[in-house]
Amino acid sequence: MTRVFAPGRVNLIGDHTDYTGGLVMPMAVDLGTTIHGARGGDVVRLTSDAATEEAEVPLRLDDPREVLPEWARYVAGVMSVMHPAEGFSGFVSTTLPVGAGLSSSAALEVAMALALGFEGAARDLALVCQKAEQQASGVPCGVMDQLASAAGVAGHALLIDCSTLEIEPVPLPADIDVVVMHSGEPRALASSEYAARRAACEAAEAIIGPLRSAGPDALAQIEDPTLQARARHVIHENARVRRFAGSLRAGDMEECGALMVESHLSLAKDFEVSTERLDQMVESLVTRPGVFGARLTGAGFGGCVVALAEPGALRDGWHVRPVDGARILEA
Ligand code: GLA
């Protein structure tokens, strides 16, 4: 029997920066996905406590995007990247809310790759699963979600440089609550708009070079106001991630909170991935006593906000702690 676990993630700061090799600061959370079963046969057959329909994916499959039920596409995505020699039969159980912005799909991919016998470093695991996600969903996502799930460090947020995939764990003070709240909005435009944002960043890079190394002065060379705004978000967001990491190390939670709010405003105004509901949630959260800051987290267009707060200041939402990344519980 094989039993593996992969956590979900929440991103504290640095959104829409990973796919241009920028900086992000997620953490793996104490909610995740377990797969239990045995390798063998020529299909992957899984039941799940989060879905009514079972997944049955043949080893030889064409397009993961055609697989049904939809959740099985992530399984198929992993299979089409890994080309496992044998199948798997088992059960998926998850404590993650599915499709809520805590990377339930990344957790499923990472757990699936381990269940199918992936051997290698956490970074390689993440790259396999990023490709799987792209094939399963058609969304040209970056590597942040899969890397946070694969390489989490208990008690730490991860400062990740997405150009080198270097990870610097930064301790999260023990007396800070990380709270994630769902907007209730499905991320309807997430795939088409996400691809459009990524294309805009690439168009900006064609004018001023890599956004990762560009300074704000370069922005004047971009004539198109929308492209300029997209690039402005990315350039300033990378700088905010660095400042956030420094403030977190120094235990300056007021500054961390202020940077989160700046990040949210930039995602809303310059990158245009927020919604009215997400804006209202952030506005109202930051007026609550004991809340240092809040922002939308992940791709946006609905989904979740994350807040940093004094212990007990917020009663609602998912209170999450940073945990170690994916692991094999039983080989
Ligand atoms: C999604 C993608 C990530 C990242 C975020 C935005 O979660 O999967 O790669 O781009 O959006 O920061």
pLDDT in tens, 189-220: 678 899 999 999 999 999 999 999 999 999 99
The pLDDT of residue 98 is: 86
The pLDDT of residue 62 is: 86
99 vs 177: which has the higher pLDDT: 177
Which residue's CA is minimally distant from atom 3 of ligand 1? 142
Helix axes 253-269, 276-286, angle to 10 degrees: 160
The pLDDT of residue 188 is: 65
**C-alpha of residue 14 to centroid of ligand 1, in Å:** 10
| Residue among 13, 18, 137, 158 to mutate when testing ligand 1 (max atoms within 8 A of CB) | 18
The model's pLDDT over 35-57, given as tens digits with 9 standing for 90+, comes to: 999 999 999 999 999 999 999 99
Q: DSSP secondary-structure letter at 66?
A: G
Q: Does 316 qualify as catalytic in the annotation?
A: no
Q: What is the mean pLDDT of residues 80-92?
A: 97
- How many Å apart are CA 300 and CA 194, to the nearest integer? 9
Which residue's CA is minimally distant from atom 1 of ligand 1? 299
Residue in 175, 82, 93 with CA at minimum distance from that of residue 132: 82
**C-alpha of residue 103 to centroid of ligand 1, in Å:** 9
Has residue 187 got a pLDDT over 80?
no
77 lines ligand 1 (CB under 6 A): no
- How many Å apart are CA 48 and CA 278, to the nearest integer? 30
What's the chain's average pLDDT? Answer: 97
CB 77, CB 141: distance < 8 Å: no
Q: What is the mean pLDDT of residues 47-69?
A: 95
152 lines ligand 1 (CB under 6 A): no
Q: What is the mean pLDDT of residues 118-143?
A: 97
The model's pLDDT over 4-35, given as tens digits with 9 standing for 90+, comes to: 999 999 999 999 999 999 999 999 999 999 99
141 lines ligand 1 (CB under 6 A): yes
How many Cβ atoms sit within 10 Å of the Cβ of residue 288?
12
Owner of token pair 């043949």: 58
Let me know the angle formed at the C-alpha of 247 by 242 and 251, rounded to the nearest 5 degrees.
Answer: 150
Ligand 1 atom with least separation from CA of 133: 8
**C-alpha of residue 231 to centroid of ligand 1, in Å:** 16
- How many Å apart are CA 277 and CA 102, to the nearest integer? 18
**C-alpha of residue 186 to centroid of ligand 1, in Å:** 16
Has residue 312 got a pLDDT over 80?
yes
The pLDDT of residue 70 is: 94
Question: In the chain, what percentage of residues exceed pLDDT 70?
Answer: 99
